[in-house]
């Protein structure tokens, strides 16, 4: 079969970090994931430009979901694995090769729902992972069902009478489990988000960045937002940037405040380093 | 030639270590094949502890003992419980401190020695009764004494090696004395 | 003998030794009876050789970490038993779909569900083949003892690496915890995955005539794309019939076309026997004991032992079946290997002897049951 050659002109400064031959992507117009991916790739691009990051060591992993699908487009070593399993996959990859810099880029359902146990244990171990949770508060890819971060009372396709559950507030959850860095950003402040990515990419140990995002198509509609910008403006209004706030005082309340900012920033040795140091000692007969 | 051995007692008597040492000696220091399986209760002490050992000069088919040629019983309950797995005419060693020889089938060739008492009186602790038994076991000709001694040196924690080797030799002496005692049936 | 070390090991220890001899660099496990002692043994030994041992938060985390580690270039494995193996279902499919070499040692215990943790079972023959959804390739070996546990673990690694498939060592509690003399050669043949040429244009799922694509590791600059969705040579999601047929056919043909490299079986006992007794794993040892006892009674039993369970040595089985008076399958379930033997030996009736036990039946018991169903 003769392959059809399509030449895609380089028109975006981040094209180098994308499998441009796959574009256009499958995300809906107005989706917040693109803003987050853009901020992330700019962070990587800047660090690479500054000579502080070797892109060939970046491993970009997603499980299943709209956000996870970004792994299909990123021009790194990338993995698009099974639902909820991005964290253990990235964990194994990093433990087997400590030069790898794994980034798990996935959604709230993938990471806090089906993969929730992996999330808290990776944090507990201070496993060397940057985990980015794009929190659009729903299972967008499957049509907008209830997620572990859907606010109480919200209408989704599986809570047509309103969500009777309480949502996870991921910041205190992950801060309590452990980890070196815990922050929450919002798609409404992409420059701040990028600065978090840049900082977190260079740290060892477990790092969580939650990104408050939108899903205008499969979620916003049920909430009565007529256009993506309505949803965006709602987020913009509800997020409050705070510094010096303890993780357990961080709010996740759709009706009053979703606190954003950096809440944990430590430099404890990562699990990968500790484990490899132990192996080295065992081999040298020191342990 | 296939030899099936059953070694049984209660948990805490060092049955599994004794069985391990037999298997280890055969595997490491002879040209024979050896297989063993263990059975033990969840509790470390007081429950059944049983090991099947098969020694053969050819590839071993079934890994367990169903008609044991040799049995070693260190406690009365297990002697009663597992006697059905011992063939007529088998050679059976018992710890006569804890097993009453008169209760055993007449078809067996019984070697009764008070392993526990010997260990207690000769070495100051009943805990090496299993080693005294192993010493006596070597006189059956299935496992050479030097092989078992080497196994003890490699397997047992260094601080217990001397005591265990003494216990082995005590067992050899006592069994040899017994063998020439005309009162032995 | 030079280059051979003699051990007196349990099946679990022999699997661990075999794995290390094959080049194991990453083990991830989760405690479960009767596989925990394999994990414990490697926890002590593997770091001494520079390997990593990791305890996941569950069996899913463990096998997925092994798959991730494999993509970082490490020979990787995990071990488990029934309940844990069930949890690994999706990940076996992930390994098969992404063509990730990984070895899973499964020690069968009594099922279903949590069943009996400590006693040997044989109820997972079908599970070992069809654990995950979709039509995927997997290779399964069933050791019959400690020597096999060592040898077949090496073989499982070699096949997994050569074909980029998950390989399973399907053992059971009796073998895992039984101890036997084992001869461990230091110069075992070791196969490692084929790698792409550095600097070449690389498509992670583009295979040549051998159907097995070279495998780049993370961090080597190839921009690998590991894709669990249906994909083309580039790893791009393509939801079409054409791509589906092409991918699934190639994935499964990797095993089908390489049967010669994979399959193994053994026969014991005299030819022209009254009965060909087919048994695997620990029951193969029972069957061989029964054949010995049968000989004493002038009853001729030949034992066929499949060593590779998936795929079976179909030719060998058909040949042996054609020569015996009758064919009987004996296993510790209600008919799993039996179905496969029936499929292979199509031209004659196959008898079935289910011995449902929580301990190994004795050869005498097995022989009594066999004689009850076969008139010699």
User: Tens digit of pLDDT for each residue in C336-355?
Assistant: 999 999 999 999 999 999 99
From chain B, the residues in CB contact with C12 under 8 A are none
Confidence of residue B42 (pLDDT cuts 50, 70, 90): low
Confidence of residue A2 (pLDDT cuts 50, 70, 90): low
Cross-chain Cβ contact A85/C60 below 8 Å: yes
The pLDDT of residue B39: 80
| Strand, helix or coil for residue C109 | strand
Task: Evaluate if residue C218 carries a pLDDT over 70.
Answer: yes
**B85 within some domain:** yes
Q: What domains appear along chain A, each with residue ranges and CATH number? A: 15-283 (3.40.50.970)
Per-domain residue ranges of chain C: 1-262, 269-373
Q: Compare CB distances from C25 to A94, A96, A283 and report the shortest one's residue.
A: A96
Residue range C128-136: mean pLDDT, rounded: 98
The pLDDT of residue A8: 62
**B97 within some domain:** yes
The pLDDT of residue B153: 97
User: Tens digit of pLDDT for each residue in A253-265?
Assistant: 999 999 999 999 9
Residue range C208-227: mean pLDDT, rounded: 96
To the nearest whole Å, the CA of C52 is away from the closest chain A CA by 7
In words, the CATH class of domain C269-373 is: alpha beta
DSSP assignment of B108-165: SEEEEE-HHHHHHHHHS-GGGHHHHHHHHHHTTTSS-HHHHHHHHHHHS-HHHHHHHH
To the nearest whole Å, the CA of A255 is away from the closest chain C CA by 36
The pLDDT of residue A206: 98
Ramachandran class of A250: left when φ > 0, alpha when ψ lies in -120 to 50, beta otherwise: beta
- Contact status, residue C262 vs residue C139, Cβ threshold 8 Å: yes
Helix (H), strand (E) at residue B171: helix B158-179
Q: Are strands B86-95 and B109-113 parallel, antiparallel or unpaired?
A: parallel
DSSP assignment of A169-231: -HHHHHHHH--SEEEEEETT-HHHHHHHHHHHHT--SEEEEEEE---IIIIIHHHT--SHHHH
Nearest alpha-carbon partner for A87 in A164, A179, A165:
A179
Q: How many domains, in total, are found in chain B?
A: 1
Q: Compare CB distances from A93 to C47, C50, C218 and report the shortest one's residue.
A: C218
Q: In the numeric block, which tokens belong to residue C354?
A: 């289910």
The pLDDT of residue A287: 76
Confidence of residue C303 (pLDDT cuts 50, 70, 90): very high
Q: Which residue has the tokens 């080693």?
A: B131
Task: Evaluate if residue C48 carries a pLDDT over 70.
Answer: yes
pLDDT, averaged across chain A: 96
For residue B11, the tally of other CB atoms under 10 A from its CB is 18
**B120 exposed, middle or buried (CB, 10 Å; 0-12, 13-18, 19+)?**
middle
The pLDDT of residue C374: 83
User: Tens digit of pLDDT for each residue in B77-121?
Assistant: 999 999 999 999 999 999 999 999 999 999 999 999 999 999 999
Chains contacting A (3+ CB pairs below 8 angstroms): C
Domain holding B20, by residue range, is: 2-179
Q: Which residue has the tokens 């070699």?
A: C158
Q: Compare CB distances from C67 to A56, A87, A89 and report the shortest one's residue.
A: A89
**B185 within some domain:** no
**Exposure on the CB side of residue A113, measured as CA atoms within 13 A:** 22
CB pairs under 8 A between A and C: 137
| Strand, helix or coil for residue A82 | coil
Q: Are strands B48-56 and B2-10 parallel, antiparallel or unpaired?
A: antiparallel
- Contact status, residue A54 vs residue A72, Cβ threshold 8 Å: no
- Contact status, residue C106 vs residue C63, Cβ threshold 8 Å: no
Dihedrals φ, ψ of A18, to 5°? -125, 150
Q: Which residue has the tokens 């694509």?
A: C213
Confidence of residue A6 (pLDDT cuts 50, 70, 90): low
Question: Domain holding B112: CATH number?
Answer: 3.40.920.10
Give dist(CA B128, CA A97) in Å, integer: 49
The pLDDT of residue B184: 47
Q: Do chains C and B touch (3 or more CB pairs under 8 A)?
A: yes
**B184 within some domain:** no
The pLDDT of residue C84: 98
Task: Evaluate if residue B185 carries a pLDDT over 50.
Answer: no
Nearest alpha-carbon partner for C121 in C366, C358, C365:
C358
Give dist(CA A89, CA A103) in Å, integer: 11
* Beta strand residue intervals within B65-108, DSSP E: 68-73, 86-95
B145-155 helix and B15-29 helix, angle to the nearest 10 degrees = 110
pLDDT, averaged across chain C: 97
Same fold yes or no, C1-262 and C269-373:
yes
Chain C contact present for A59, CB below 8 A: yes
Cross-chain Cβ contact A22/C236 below 8 Å: yes
Residue range C40-44: mean pLDDT, rounded: 98
Task: Evaluate if residue A4 carries a pLDDT over 90.
Answer: no
The pLDDT of residue A215: 96
Chain B contact present for C23, CB below 8 A: no
A259 DSSP β-pair partners: A240
Confidence of residue C180 (pLDDT cuts 50, 70, 90): very high
The pLDDT of residue C199: 81
The pLDDT of residue C169: 98
Task: Evaluate if residue C375 carries a pLDDT over 70.
Answer: no
Contacts of A236 (CB under 8 A, 6+ apart): A186, A188
Give dist(CA B119, CA B134) in Å, integer: 12
Confidence of residue C1 (pLDDT cuts 50, 70, 90): low
Q: How far is CA C212 from the centre of its chain?
A: 20
Task: Evaluate if residue C259 carries a pLDDT over 50.
Answer: yes
User: Tens digit of pLDDT for each residue in A98-130?
Assistant: 999 999 999 999 999 999 999 999 999 999 999
* Beta strand residue intervals within C133-240, DSSP E: 139-141, 166-172, 179-185, 225-227
Q: Do chains A and B touch (3 or more CB pairs under 8 A)?
A: no
Residue range B144-165: mean pLDDT, rounded: 97
Chain B contact present for C181, CB below 8 A: yes
Percent of chain A residues topping a pLDDT of 70: 97
Confidence of residue C359 (pLDDT cuts 50, 70, 90): very high
Specify the fold of C1-262: Rossmann fold (3.40.50)
Percent of chain B residues topping a pLDDT of 90: 89
The pLDDT of residue C107: 98
Interface of B with C (CB under 8 A): 20, 23-24, 26-28, 32-38, 60-64, 66-67
**Exposure on the CB side of residue A225, measured as CA atoms within 13 A:** 20
Percent of chain C residues topping a pLDDT of 90: 96
Give dist(CA C46, CA C25) in Å, integer: 8
**A255 exposed, middle or buried (CB, 10 Å; 0-12, 13-18, 19+)?**
exposed
Residue range C174-203: mean pLDDT, rounded: 94
User: Tens digit of pLDDT for each residue in A23-37?
Assistant: 999 999 999 999 999
Q: Compare CB distances from C6 to B28, B35, B63 and report the shortest one's residue.
A: B28
CB pairs under 8 A between B and C: 71
**B96 within some domain:** yes
Cross-chain Cβ contact C360/B64 below 8 Å: yes
For residue B12, the tally of other CB atoms under 10 A from its CB is 14
Q: In the numeric block, which tokens belong to residue A283?
A: 């081999």
| Strand, helix or coil for residue A265 | strand
Residue range C269-283: mean pLDDT, rounded: 95
Nearest alpha-carbon partner for B99 in B64, B20, B51, B108:
B108
**A242 exposed, middle or buried (CB, 10 Å; 0-12, 13-18, 19+)?**
middle
CB contacts under 8 A, C 278-307 vs B, are 282, 285-286, 288-292
């Amino acid at each position: 079969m003769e392959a059809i050659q399509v030449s895609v002109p380089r028109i975006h400064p981040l094209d180098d970090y994308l499998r441009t031959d796959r574009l256009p992507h499958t995300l809906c117009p107005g989706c917040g994931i693109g803003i987050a991916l853009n901020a992330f790739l700019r962070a990587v691009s800047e660090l690479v430009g500054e000579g502080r990051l070797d892109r060939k060591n970046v491993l970009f992993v997603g499980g299943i979901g709209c956000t996870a699908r970004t792994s299909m487009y990123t021009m790194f070593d990338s993995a698009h694995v099974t639902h909820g399993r991005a964290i253990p996959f990235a964990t194994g990859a990093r433990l087997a090769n400590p030069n790898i810099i794994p980034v798990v880029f996935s959604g709230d359902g993938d990471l806090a729902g089906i993969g929730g146990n992996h999330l808290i244990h990776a944090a507990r171990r201070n496993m060397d992972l940057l985990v980015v949770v794009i929190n659009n508060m729903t299972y967008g890819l499957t049509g907008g069902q209830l997620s572990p971060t859907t606010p109480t009372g919200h209408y989704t396709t599986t809570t047509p009478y309103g969500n009777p559950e309480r949502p996870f507030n991921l910041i205190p959850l992950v801060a309590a489990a452990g980890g070196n860095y815990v922050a929450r950003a919002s798609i409404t402040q992409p420059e701040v988000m990028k600065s978090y990515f840049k900082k977190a990419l260079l740290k060892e140990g477990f790092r969580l960045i939650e990104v408050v995002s939108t899903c205008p198509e499969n979620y916003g509609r049920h909430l009565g937002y007529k256009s993506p910008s309505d949803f965006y403006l709602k987020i913009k209004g509800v997020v409050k940037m705070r510094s010096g706030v303890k993780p357990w005082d961080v709010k996740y309340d759709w009706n009053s405040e979703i606190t954003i900012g950096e809440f944990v920033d430590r430099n404890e040795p990562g699990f990968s380093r500790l484990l490899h140091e132990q192996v080295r000692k065992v081999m040298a007969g020191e342990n | 030639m296939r030899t099936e051995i059953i070694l049984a007692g209660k948990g805490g008597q060092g049955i599994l270590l004794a069985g391990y040492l037999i298997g280890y000696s055969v595997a490491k220091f002879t040209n024979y094949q050896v297989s063993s399986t263990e059975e033990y209760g969840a509790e470390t002490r007081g429950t059944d502890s049983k090991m099947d050992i098969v020694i053969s000069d050819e590839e071993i088919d079934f890994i367990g003992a169903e008609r044991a040629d040799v049995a070693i019983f260190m406690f009365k309950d297990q002697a009663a419980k597992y006697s059905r797995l011992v063939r007529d005419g088998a050679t059976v060693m018992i710890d006569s401190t804890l097993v009453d020889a008169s209760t055993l089938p007449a078809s067996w060739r019984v070697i009764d020695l008070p392993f526990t008492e010997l260990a207690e009186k000769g070495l100051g602790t009943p805990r090496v009764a299993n080693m005294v038994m192993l010493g006596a076991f070597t006189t059956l000709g299935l496992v050479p004494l030097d092989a078992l001694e080497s196994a003890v040196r490699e397997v047992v924690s260094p601080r217990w090696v001397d005591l265990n080797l003494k216990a082995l030799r005590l067992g050899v002496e006592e069994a040899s004395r017994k063998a020439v005692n005309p009162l032995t049936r | 003998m030079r280059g051979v070390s003699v051990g007196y090991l349990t099946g679990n220890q022999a699997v661990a030794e075999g794995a290390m001899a094959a080049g194991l660099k990453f083990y991830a496990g989760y405690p479960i009876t009767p596989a925990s002692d394999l994990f414990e043994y490697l926890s002590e030994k593997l770091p001494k050789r520079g390997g990593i041992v990791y305890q996941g938060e569950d069996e899913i985390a463990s096998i997925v970490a092994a798959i991730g580690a494999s993509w970082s270039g490490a020979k990787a494995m995990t071990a488990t038993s029934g309940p844990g193996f069930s949890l690994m279902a999706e990940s076996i499919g992930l390994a098969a779909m992404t063509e990730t070499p990984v070895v899973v040692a499964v020690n069968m215990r009594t099922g279903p569900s949590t069943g009996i943790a400590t006693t040997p079972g044989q109820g997972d023959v079908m599970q070992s083949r069809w654990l995950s959804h979709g039509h995927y390739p997997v290779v399964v070996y069933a050791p019959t003892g400690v020597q096999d546990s060592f040898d077949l673990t090496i073989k499982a690694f070699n096949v997994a690496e050569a074909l980029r498939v998950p390989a399973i060592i399907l053992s059971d509690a009796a073998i895992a915890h039984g101890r036997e003399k084992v001869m461990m050669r230091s110069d075992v043949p070791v196969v490692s995955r084929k790698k792409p040429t550095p600097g070449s244009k690389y498509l992670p799922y583009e295979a040549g005539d051998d159907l097995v694509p070279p495998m780049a590791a993370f961090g080597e600059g190839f921009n690998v794309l590991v894709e669990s969705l249906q994909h083309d040579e580039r790893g791009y999601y393509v939801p079409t019939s054409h791509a589906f047929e092409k991918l699934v056919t190639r994935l499964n043909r990797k095993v089908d076309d390489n049967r010669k490299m994979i399959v193994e079986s053994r026969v014991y006992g005299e030819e022209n026997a009254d009965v060909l007794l087919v048994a695997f794993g620990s029951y193969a040892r029972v069957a061989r004991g029964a054949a010995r006892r049968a000989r004493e009674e002038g009853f001729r039993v030949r034992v066929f032992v499949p060593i590779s369970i998936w795929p079976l040595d179909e030719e060998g089985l058909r040949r042996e079946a054609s020569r015996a008076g009758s064919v009987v399958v004996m296993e510790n379930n209600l008919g799993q290997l039996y179905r496969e033997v029936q499929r292979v030996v199509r031209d004659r009736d196959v008898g079935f002897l289910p011995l449902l036990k929580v301990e190994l039946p004795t050869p005498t018991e097995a022989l009594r049951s066999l004689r009850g169903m076969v008139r010699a």
